[in-house]
Structure 1
Amino acid sequence: MISYDCDSLYAHLGSVIKQKKTMTGPDKNTLFPLEHHKKLCFLKNLIDDPKIKVGDYTYYDDLEDVQNFKKNVKYHFDFTEDQLIIGKFCMIASDVSFIMNGANHLTDAITSYPFAIFGNGWEQAMENKSYPTKGDTIIGNDVWIGHNATIMGGVKIGDGAIIAANSAIVKDVASYSVMGGNPASLIRKRFSKENIEQLLKLQWWNWDIKKITRNVSALTGNDLSAIR
């Protein structure tokens, strides 16, 4: 008859379970991926607005409360049609604001005052007119947006871009660009043109999570040939 040391067996099983969990990465469907830390969330699991779409593993880190993210998507009214679309594996810091198209006023008229919203006869102000819009605000994959940055409505930020803290993004940002300032301007490209083209073809964020897990060491390095 074979006897077992229960304590050793349980310890072994615990080790196997922990290893399996580690090798598959965190659960993308959990709100708080860091145990005992409620100020960083996988954003997709927080959002309940159909006009905001967020990819897997994108996180929002707030100094106070992750619910602040909803308040920081500003002027996103029900009657506007624009969407906020954020890709996978993005990193969004505290106090990042998205100024949606509902904030827009007329700029080529005698006055930019929004008479129509007050009614009582002023609604005629916008007959046969419409407020300007720049379309959806689109954030690519693997984008890092620093503390207190502001993203204006209709802006498109390419994959792999970095937005410095306190920056105001008022126009489109090319992939793998580092932007900073108010209004933001290009600080530098993260990689050579050839490497950027290779990375955009690679699209690592669309890999199976097991392949990403196998390559986490390579992905945090700078040798493209090390990726398997």
Structure 2
Amino acid sequence: MPGPNPTTRLPLNGEPHTVFLKNVISRSTIKVGDFTYYNDDDNASDFENRNVLYHFDFIGDELVIGKFCALATGTQFIMNGATHALGGFSTYPFNIFGHGWEEGVDFSTFTSSQKGDTVVGNDVWIGRRATIMPGVSIGSGAIIGAYAVVTKDVPPYCIAAGNPAQVMKKRFCDKTIEQLLEIAWWDWPIDKISRNLAAIRGADLAALENAV
């Protein structure tokens, strides 16, 4: 049971609606782990252009998505390029229109509003048309509800939904979450993962801990 090849672009019998994302990413500022997929009937392979918005090289922020994540249709990541300058009196981007307006711009008013990289952990499920705002971190094992707008960090193994998204509940107790993060099954060799799918999909923590 070797499992699917993570370098396969279209893992579902070549159907174009589902892609292993890392194989369709060209930007160095987007990093995606093995087996993370995106599903969309409308050009799933163009994820980095259609779903990662305002992501400009001169800003340098990164989008990092872990392994074994499931991204539903319309998932969007809003990056720091969408943020107007907040450090001065006006948020209007005078400089982009040139004709002299680009001169003497104090870029500290822009950089002071940047929120850093956007990071999604491993085994995260993001629901249909959810929007992830700049600088947000989503912990491993989390679930983001459909149409949620995530404006702040979501802890591991929590369910967040709404606009703005709020943590609705934890999927498991704190001790179990701690153990799951320590086990980190997503970092196992693929042959070990393949041998222990029942334990990974199940709810018997001892079986997962004793996997060989």
TM-score normalized with structure 1 length: 0.87
Deviation at 1:145, TM superposition (A): 0.4
Query: Partner of 1:34: helix, strand, or coil?
Result: coil
TM-score normalized with structure 2 length: 0.94
Task: Summarize the alignment of residues 39-54 of structure 1 with structure 2, pairs less than 5 Å apart.
Answer: 39-54=17-32
* Partner of residue 18, structure 1: none
Q: Deviations over 1:60-117 (max 9, x none)?
A: 1112221341211000012111010000000001111100000111234221101111
Q: Deviations over 1:163-192 (max 9, x none)?
A: 000000001110001000000001110000
Distance 1:87 1:200 in 2: 13
1:115–1:125: 8 Å Cα contact kept in structure 2? no
Deviation at 1:128, TM superposition (A): 5.3
Q: Deviations over 1:21-78 (max 9, x none)?
A: xx01001110011114221011000101111000000001112221341211000012
2:94–2:101: 8 Å Cα contact kept in structure 1? yes
Match of 1:105 among 71, 80, 84: 84
Match of 1:83 among 54, 57, 62: 62
* Partner of residue 60, structure 1: 38
Task: Indicate whether 1:121 and 2:104 are aligned.
Answer: no
Query: Partner of 1:195: helix, strand, or coil?
Result: helix
Query: Partner of 1:123: helix, strand, or coil?
Result: coil
**Alignment coverage as a number of residue pairs:** 206
4+ runs deviating over 4 angstroms: none
1:62–1:68: 8 Å Cα contact kept in structure 2? no
Match of 1:133 among 108, 111, 114: 114
Task: Indicate whether 1:199 and 2:190 are aligned.
Answer: no
Question: Over alpha carbons, which structure has the higher Rg?
Answer: 1
Deviation at 1:127, TM superposition (A): 2.5
Query: Partner of 1:138: helix, strand, or coil?
Result: strand
Structure 1, unaligned runs of 5 or more: 1-22
Task: Summarize the alignment of residues 1-228 of structure 1 with structure 2, pairs less than 5 Å apart.
Answer: 23-70=1-48, 71-124=50-103, 126-127=105-106, 129-131=108-110, 132-227=113-208, 228=211
Distance 1:37 1:128 in 2: 45
Q: Name the structure with the higher helix share.
A: 1
Q: Aligned partner of 2:201: which letter?
A: T
Q: Deviations over 1:3-38 (max 9, x none)?
A: xxxxxxxxxxxxxxxxxxxx0100111001111422
1:76–1:101: 8 Å Cα contact kept in structure 2? yes
Q: Deviations over 1:141-165 (max 9, x none)?
A: 0010000000001111111000000
2:16–2:41: 8 Å Cα contact kept in structure 1? no
Query: Partner of 1:117: helix, strand, or coil?
Result: helix
Structure 2, unaligned runs of 5 or more: none
Moved more, 41-50 or 125-134: 125-134
Deviation at 1:125, TM superposition (A): 5.3
CA root-mean-square deviation = 1.2
